[in-house]
Amino acid sequence: MQTIDALDSTLRSYLDQEQTRLVRRAYYFAEQAHHGQLRRSGEPYVTHPLAVAAILADMHMDHQSLMAAMLHDVIEDTGIDKSAISNQFGATVAELVDGVSKLTQMEFDSLAEKQAENFQKMALAMARDIRVILVKLADRLHNMRTLGVLRPDKARRIARETLDIYAPIAMRLGMNTVRMEFEDLGFRALHPMRASRIEAARRASRGHRTELVDKIRHQIEAALEQEGHDVEVIGREKHLYSIYKKMKSKKKSFSEIMDIYAFRIIVDSVDTCYRVLGCVHSLYKPVPGEFKDYIAIPKANGYQSLHTVLMGMHGVPIEIQIRTLEMEEMANNGIAAHWLYKSEGQSANASHARAREWVKGLLEMQQRAGNSLEFIESVKIDLFPDEIYVFTPKGGILELPRGATAVDFAYAVHTDVGNSCVACRINRRLAPLSEPLQSGQTVEILTAPGARPNPSWFNYAVTAKARTNIRHFLKHQTRDDSVALGRRLLDKALVLFDTSLEQLPGEQVGDYLARHDYNALDDLLDDIARGNRLPPITAQQLLGEASKAQPTPDSKYSQPVAIRGTEGFMVSYAKCCHPIPGDPIEGYLSSEKGVVVHRESCKNLAEMRENRERLVALRWDDKVEGEYLTHLRVEVENRRGMIAVLATRINSMGVNIERISTEDKDYQFTYVDLELLVDSRVHLASIMKRLRAVSSVRRVIRLKN
């Protein structure tokens, strides 16, 4: 068990006497505050904050972080508040403690929401002081080390949260040592049987490997010594979770994963890194395409190293990492190494700046997210897949996750560029916005004034920043659309009582809004458009006593609502019957989907007519806009190349084909089903006429349902 005296000796090695005294004082304060409290293991509660401080001391964190570690549970678990800590230890320490403390005073609908709210609060505190997350990571690390005393279900929940959120955050901040321990401890808690079997297999294979590892290491050391390089060569062993992940993702056996031998070479300078690389490449043959230079282009978390894979004796693959001692420290401790190297300038500051940039991005996501659950999903996307590096037209480098597209690139440049993006050039050729980018490509974004995000971008945008901004923009558009549609629907219902929203007295509308807990009329109209309130019932409630008069359905005022095609998300088109302009249509008010437009002849609509108050009379506006999906079935002779003939004929009319599928009718004829985008029935009729003119086409029909 850690004691304050043992910790004191560690602190004296890098803190001055006054700072060490302040940390001791925080410990005694915490000891008094937690007096009488015990951990599940039966130990005094203060052993936990002491252990958290010891983890941070091993990283050589500053005295304020250590004081916050000592006090991090005081606000949450004792009667002492933030102001008392501020009076005793200063505002900075109090802010750190408050940032780490959980939200205990609020009630949440679910555990997931509570975790998301806690993380959101912590992210805001991180934006003020990045040390909040370091204290939190140390706190979580000690909790993971003592997971064995908890109930299995609670231990599994904490382990899952650690693997989903905290291990990736440690990775994102470059704290590799903490990340690996998180992963191994989480893996053991979630899958104890798998962990024990892999551990046993690793132990068994260690004996066979040791001799070969030593032989390869001696060869590398001898070759480098001969060239006059004074280096340290370390054999690396894969940790449990990385073995498990590789076995699972690559579908390989344990022996195949362990066939690779890994070494790290620690050198004295960046120049020596490249010289040593040349030496090892002359000693063993490098594997093409496996060299990565993270010194010239560091990872987003500040990680720097040269990576190469060599083919050693007997065809054994050897992974080599070459880095300086400072890079090694940064790789293991990441942003925490900022405090260790804070007097030495550039490298540590670059890592710190990257971390701040990431937190700034978190803050932007948090402001644009609708709620805490949406925010935490965005953060999970951002934490953190493999990276690719692409160039701007002016030669700048942007780092994006693997699978990113030009849309992600546009939002990475600037939110306004993303919002007004219309096309892109990849390596100077026009390319679709959905094309996945590759490392080394130069990407140019073409923008247009008045352009706006397309909902289809959600299908291929992968970065959290892009997805959050698209969602934010569309939400605002949706709100405006839904309010306008709600007004039209309510006016149509009121017109049956020979009145309209404009004619209703303001006090009458105000009373209704107050009775039903609406802050503004727009909130009510939004609810109507989303199908959460029905226009006829709302109209009757708004009119109160006056509504006892029967509505007049046959009144000259009773006109269908016109659909323009520009209503946005609050009007959707049924996938069962695919209505297009010119079709007789009717609408159904669906909760959250708003108005769903069906063809009048749709079989599904016939069933919905039992719920008459949700039906809406609709018609197409004279100036309807947009393209609408429709289905055609073409019966053709079984001849080679018929699909190409049909596609060419359709493309020549400038029509987009969304999907083609075929189904054999018999040995002589085949059905070709086409999904096309058309703007009206007239447009569709002209397409069908052109298809019927093809010699091998026997019949063309539009599918109804």
Q: Which residue has the tokens 């006829």?
A: 536
Task: Kindly state the helix (H) or strand (E) to which residue 262 belongs, with its residue range.
Answer: strand 261-267
**Rounded Cα–Cα distance for residues 683 and 580 (Å):** 10
**Rounded Cα–Cα distance for residues 118 and 96 (Å):** 14
Grouping H, G, I as helix, E, B as strand and the rest as coil, residue 217 is helix
**Rounded Cα–Cα distance for residues 314 and 456 (Å):** 51
**Rounded Cα–Cα distance for residues 96 and 130 (Å):** 9
**Rounded Cα–Cα distance for residues 364 and 630 (Å):** 40
Closest CA to 337 of 303, 385, 300, 386: 303
For residue 457, give both structure tokens: 């971008």
Closest CA to 325 of 313, 310, 309, 340: 340
420 contacts: CB under 8 Å, gap ≥ 6: 447, 448, 449, 450, 451, 452
Helices (DSSP H) in 371-463: which residue ranges? 372-382, 406-413, 415-419
Q: Do residues 47 and 1 make contact, with C-beta atoms less than 8 angstroms apart?
A: yes
For residue 50, give both structure tokens: 């002491």
- Between 192-226 and 240-250, two packed helices, what is the crossing angle to 10 degrees? 100
**Rounded Cα–Cα distance for residues 578 and 601 (Å):** 11
Planar angle of CA 13, 14, 20, nearest 5 degrees: 90
Grouping H, G, I as helix, E, B as strand and the rest as coil, residue 405 is coil
Q: Do residues 108 and 25 make contact, with C-beta atoms less than 8 angstroms apart?
A: no
- Between 506-515 and 521-529, two packed helices, what is the crossing angle to 10 degrees? 70
**Rounded Cα–Cα distance for residues 701 and 583 (Å):** 15
R_g of the chain computed on alpha carbons: 33
For residue 486, give both structure tokens: 């709600």
Of 31, 43, 77, 293, the catalytic one is 77
523 is catalytic: no
Q: How far is CA 588 from the centre of its chain?
A: 34
Q: How far is CA 112 from the centre of its chain?
A: 16
**Rounded Cα–Cα distance for residues 572 and 485 (Å):** 12
* Burial grade of 276 (CB within 10 A; 0-12, 13-18, 19 or more): buried
For residue 607, give both structure tokens: 């069933």
**Rounded Cα–Cα distance for residues 361 and 354 (Å):** 11
**Rounded Cα–Cα distance for residues 241 and 55 (Å):** 22
Of 31, 76, 319, 527, the catalytic one is 76
* Burial grade of 485 (CB within 10 A; 0-12, 13-18, 19 or more): buried
Give the count of beta carbons closer than 10 Å to the beta carbon of residue 654.
6
What DSSP string runs through 223-254? Answer: HHHHTT---EEEEE---HHHHHHHHHHHT--H
**Rounded Cα–Cα distance for residues 144 and 180 (Å):** 12
Grouping H, G, I as helix, E, B as strand and the rest as coil, residue 37 is coil
77 is catalytic: yes
Residues with a catalytic annotation lie at 76-77
